[in-house]
Amino acid sequence: MDILRQYGVLFIIAGVILIVLGLMVIFVDFHGFEGILPGDIHITRKNFSFHFPLATCLFISLILTAVFYILRNFFSSR
């Protein structure tokens, strides 16, 4: 019965993550995603354009690190 409880919690967490990702897709569709954070590098020249979302990459890395840390602590304690 304990394994079924863990699977249930896992499906609930996966559902919440999918809902958040869906809301992010809707937000990005309305507002665009490139260059929304300060620290993103965008260089435009006469015949050249370069965009590197440095701050966005760091933000996504921070969020994923926190999510995986929480999931690891949740499943290792049981």
Residues 19, 42 within the same domain: no
DSSP string of 11-56? HHHHHHHHHHHHHHHHHHHHH--TT-STT-EEEE-SS-EEEE-HHH
Residues 28, 42 within the same domain: no
Domain with 10 in it: 1-32
Q: Tokens 């590197």 label which residue?
A: 52
Residues 53, 78 within the same domain: yes
pLDDT tens for each residue of the chain, 78 residues long:
687 888 888 888 889 888 988 887 777 766 565 556 788 888 899 999 988 888 888 888 998 898 888 878 877 765
At 77 the three-state DSSP class reads: coil
pTM (2 decimals)? Answer: 0.56
Q: Considering its fold, how many domains does the chain have in total?
A: 2
**Do β-strands 41-44 and 49-52 pair in parallel, antiparallel, or remain unpaired?**
antiparallel
Residues 2, 28 within the same domain: yes
Residues 20, 48 within the same domain: no
**pLDDT value of position 34:** 57
**pLDDT value of position 74:** 74
Residues 53, 70 within the same domain: yes
